[in-house]
Structure 1
Amino acid sequence: MRTECVSSADSNTTSSTSEFCSSCTRQERDDEGDEDDVSTLPDSIETSHLTSGILDKLVQKTRQKHDEALKQMDTHLAHLSQACETEVRTLCEQLKSSLQKADLRLDTLKDRMGHLQHSSLQEVLSLWEEVHEEVKERNNRFSELNLQLNDCERQRTDELRAILRTHSQLLEEIRFLPSSEVHRLIHMEATKLNVALLVNRCSIAHLLLHLKQDNLQQEFLLHLQWEERLNSWRSVRISGPVERFRTFFSSVVGRQPLSDQQMKQTQQDLTQQRCDIIQQIRTMAPPTISSTAVSDWFNQLTAVNQQIDQHHTDFLRQLKRLHQQTWQDCLAEAEKCK
């Protein structure tokens, strides 16, 4: 009975195995059939109908608008740059022409500096005033140029800001790129323009600095030249009058009163007369002397002394008059030397 059970199980196992093998064989035949079907498929799939391409056309149109907007922005920037360059060139040409005319006027003033021998002091001083006014006018012209160039750069900055703002809005409306990319693109362009504006401002500052330095150096050299000519003019104008005044002064210092010899003789006579009167006192001794004789002697002595005093007074008056006249003559001669 046990043997039957085993045999029965074996028979079942055998039948199951045969069924599994047959199913595997069928599966293999099916797989081979599928491989044959796949191998017969084409390498590329061809559509049987044409697409409309609306999306491609929209993208292409948007790209074209985007490129045209960028090209328009570049064109506006180029035109603005060209206009500003033309204006700056015009201002520089005007400054150059003005400086050339100023240099011609300064050359004329330099020539006048070399011929100051026959000029007056007022003319010499007024000559430097003219030179100083020319130099001052050049400085004013430089300041005007600085203001004009700064105004030009300020207007250029405002117009650049307007162009970038306008085209930024236009690119955002086109929507070919996201807003962040549009902002990045405009920001990069603005950075380049800011660098160019800073370079322009530095160039303007350097130009103004060099112009003012050259003008200051020229003024310094002109002032040295004028001082040299002024010293030469003074040496020529002063040496002659000083020598003439010295000669005149030496001639008037030795002046003597017109009646100097006569006054000396009168002085000697009066002095001798007084001595004689004084000598008479020896003979006046009592009892021969009388009060009347003494009174007459005293009156004679007093009269002689008064004559001597009057003579001295007249001499001093005449000497004072002579000195006053000499002083007036010296003042008049000094006025002539001015």
Structure 2
Amino acid sequence: MSPVGKMSQVQNGKVYQQIFHAQVQLVQSLAATRKRAAEHSETPKNVKTPMMKKVPLPEGETMTPRQRKWVHSLPNDGVTENPVLYREKEEARKEMERLTEDMIASQEVQGLMDIIVPEKVSNLQEYEDHKKRKYLRALASFQEELEQIGVELEPLILEKGKLLLKKISKSDEDVDKLFKNVEIEPDLDSYTIETLLELWEKVAERFMQQKQEIKELDEELLALEFSRADKARWPQMSSLLKEVLKKYVGIIEKTAYILQPDVYRLIDKEAMAMNQALLGNRRAIAQLLVNLTEATLQQELDNRHRWQSLVDTWKALKKEGLIQRFTEFMASEEIQEPPEVKKELEEMQKNQEVLQKVRLDHLCTICNLLPPNYNKNQLTEWYNSLTSLNKQLDTYHMDSMSLVHFLYEKVWQQCLSRVQECKQQLLEWKAFSEAEAESLVNPTFFLMVGEFQSKVEKQLELLDSSFEILAKDTELKSSDLFRYFQEAVKLWEGHQSVLLTQELELEKRIEQHRQKHNQETQNQETSLDKLLDQLRQQSQEESLKIHMDKARTFLKNMKSRYECFHILLTKEVMEYPGLVLKELNCYSFTLSRHFFIREIFEQNLAGEVIFKFRQPGGRGHGGDFL
């Protein structure tokens, strides 16, 4: 570039103003000429395509596919290439290639206007005011078109938002209806877990569709925002930001009110403000997406909790039903009173009655062994038979209780099998895990089985201990009974011993009296023989009479002695029944005291029976008579 000389200010004047306006008009005229040349270089769309006569030509190898297409096509169909028009285009293109830039510039200059129209503005100040008004009108129009873009896009945004809200409301109603159809069902436990899972799949599908609709809304809103600066994507919108900016750059430049850099700065400032607004809109759209997504996720979470609560209720009903059925099973007569155990106990009771009757009959046979039909060996044999019967009954009790224990073991195994069936049922429902099944079965079902088992074991233990106590008590009582009867027998033996002693003493006394009497009688008979010999030896009547009197007196003495001996024996014999009766009364009293009987049977020698009563006293004490 050449160096710039000293700058000088040109005075305002009409000549310079006319030169300026002439230059402006020439530039505008040149632009119009170039535009017309460009339009003439292209074929007008409304120019009718020349007709091409369809001449039937034989097909041959001399025609190209392009020529064959022309031949077989319809005239002027608008699709097939027109050879005449194509030839004219090619000739014009070749003609333009032959022209140089100088020739083109010369033609453009020749096309300029020869006469310059003077401006109507009389002075520069009015012209400046005119440019300012055009500039302000351009800015106002620019703002109006920007506002118009917002006015055109706002109904679309509101429409899409309302449509989404309508879809969300419809989806919420559908989800609520799905839940209510299950919640109002009175027999919820009749459902399966597959039905509940299918319910959640339907609900999840609704929310997946809702998320997709939210995503589509986000894409559509972003597309609307992009459409403000991209006409190609939204051809139905005429006033979009990108085109508006490009349009008003030229309009403001044409006003010539401000310099081109200032125009660009103004447009850049407006574009920056628009970009900030667009970024704010995008942030708002992104925040809307976040809010809608969070609301959808929260709603999905709430419905998940609602579904989980429904599942928990279903599981609780299943648990309650299972527990109730197991409780009914445990409370059933088959478990509480098993038929086999009941049958065995009834059989044991019948056999007990039979064995007890046999033992009772054997006990009654003791009456045949008591005095006076007493036999010591028979009594011992009777006691051994009684002991054998007691052992037989005790052995039968032990065998029966072993069988009852075995039968209850089978019942407990049946209960444990039922517990495993309940656990398997929980797992088959596919809604309970292994741990949940264990947590329900272990503390609940095993506790019920354990309580029932403990109850039965206590009853069986009580029954076993009762049988043991009964066996020991029976053995003790049998031994006491045997000793009791042995003591009664000892009383009888003592009574017999006393009677025998008294009888022997009576015989002994009688024998002593007899021996004494015989000795005295023998002595008297010797004396009588001597006296009779003397009597036979007497020859005199007086001596004979004296000896006769002596013999007669001696015989009287012998008679009196015999009478005394008879009286003595009679006295001894007559005293013996009294002694026997006394011993019998003493034996009667001893028996009453031994058998703890208050009545005492006594009898006198006249045969009269006397009943006496004694006060209760300890064994071994006589007590007082009443």
Q: Which TM-score tier does this pair reach, normalised by the shorter chain?
A: 0.5 to 0.7
- The answer to whether structure 1 residue 104 and structure 2 residue 165 are counterparts is no
CA distance in 1, matches of 2:156, 2:254: 34
For 1:135 and 1:202, how far apart are their aligned partners in 2?
24
1:124-143 equivalent positions in 2, closer than 5 A = 124-143=196-215
2:176 is the alignment partner of 1:176 = no
Give TM-score scaled by structure 1 length. 0.56
Partners of 1:223 and 1:117 lie apart in 2 by: 22
Identity fraction in percent: 26
- Mapped pair 1:157 → 2:226: no
Q: 2:306 aligns to what?
A: 225
Task: Answer yes or no: is 1:76 the counterpart of 2:145.
Answer: yes
Deviation (angstroms), 1:180: 1.2
- Report what 2:218 is aligned to: 146
Q: Does 1:213 align with 2:294?
A: yes
One-letter amino acid matched to 2:170: K
Query: Is contact 1:62–1:174 with CA below 8 Å preserved after alignment?
Result: yes
User: For residues 185 and 336 of structure 1, what CA distance do their matches in structure 2 show?
Assistant: 80
1:68 CA drift (Å): 2.8
Measure the CA separation in 1 of the matches of 2:199 and 2:153. 41
Cα distance in structure 1, aligned partners of 2:326 and 2:160: 59
Alignment of 1:286-301 (within 5 A): none
SS of residue paired to 2:167: helix
Post-superposition shift, 1:101? 1.3
Unaligned runs of 5+ in 1: 1-51, 261-325
- The count of aligned residue pairs is 224
Matches within 5 A, 1:33-72: 53-72=122-141
Whether contact under 8 Å (1:69, 1:170) holds in the other structure is yes
Q: Name 1:278's counterpart in structure 2.
A: none
Q: Distance in 1 between matches of 2:133 and 2:296?
A: 56
Amino acid of the structure 2 residue aligned with 1:108 = K
Q: Displacement, 1:111?
A: 2.0
Structure-to-structure mapping, 1:78-97, within 5 angstroms: 78-97=147-166
Give unmatched runs, 5+ long, in structure 2. 1-120, 231-239, 345-413, 430-626
Q: How much does 1:55 deviate?
A: 3.2
Cα contact 1:62–1:175 (8 A) shared by 2: yes
The 5 Å alignment of 1:158-307 reads 158=230, 159-241=240-322, 243-244=324-325, 251=334
What are the Cα deviations for residues 54-87 of structure 1, in whole angstroms up to 9, with x where unaligned?
Answer: 4344334433332332222222111111111121
CA contact (8 A) 1:117 1:236 kept: no
Correspondence for 1:114: 183
Paired amino acid for 1:220: L
2:137 alignment partner AA: E
Q: Deviations over 1:146-204 (max 9, x none)?
A: 00100000001332122111110222233221111111211121122112111111111
Q: CA deviation at 1:110?
A: 3.4
Report the CA distance between 1:246 and its aligned residue: 7.2
Instruction: Specify whether residues 336 and 231 from structure 1 end up closer, same or farther in structure 2 by C-alpha distance, changes over 3 A only.
Output: closer
Please tell me the residue identity of whatever aligns with 2:156.
E
CA shift digits 1:280-319 (9 cap, x unpaired): xxxxxxxxxxxxxxxxxxxxxxxxxxxxxxxxxxxxxxxx
> Separation in 1 of the partners of 2:130 and 2:321?
97
Task: Give me the whole-angstrom Cα distance separating, in 2, the residues matched to 1:211 and 1:336.
Answer: 43
Cα drift, residue 242 of structure 1: 5.5
- Name the stretch that deviates more: 66-75 or 209-218: 66-75
- In the alignment, what sits opposite 2:410? none
Contact 1:109 1:127 in 2 (8 A): yes
Alpha-carbon distance in 2 for matches of 1:170, 1:78: 18
Larger Rg: 2
Deviation at 1:117, TM superposition (A): 4.8
226-235 vs 88-97, which moves further? 226-235
Distance 2:265 2:318 in 1: 78
Q: 2: CA distance between counterparts of 1:92 and 1:68?
A: 36
Give 1:167's aligned amino acid: Y
Separation in 2, partners of 1:147, 1:62: 44
Where 2:152 maps in the other structure, the secondary structure is helix
Structure holding more helix per residue = 1
Deviation at 1:336, TM superposition (A): 9.8
Cα drift, residue 244 of structure 1? 3.6
3-state SS in 2 of match to 1:157:
coil
Highest RCO, 1 vs 2 (Cα 8 Å, sep ≥ 6): 1
Distance in 2, Cα, partners of 1:206 & 1:116: 41
CA distance in 1, matches of 2:186, 2:312: 11
The separation in 2 between residues aligned to 1:187 and 1:336, in whole angstroms, is: 76
Residue by residue over 1:27-54, the C-alpha shift from the partner in whole angstroms, topping out at 9 and shown as x without a partner, is xxxxxxxxxxxxxxxxxxxxxxxxx824
Which residue does 2:436 correspond to in 1? none
| Displacement of 1:247 | 5.9
Structure 2 letter corresponding to 1:182? V
* Distance change (3 Å), C-alpha of 1:212 and 1:173: same
Distance in 2, Cα, partners of 1:105 & 1:58: 70
Task: Find the aligned partners of 1:76 and 1:198 in 2 and give their Cα distance.
Answer: 20
SS of 2:229's equivalent in the other structure is helix
Amino acid at match of 2:294: Q
Read off the aligned partner of 1:133 and give its amino acid letter. E
User: What residue identity is the alignment partner of 2:281?
Assistant: N
SS in 1 for 2:258: coil
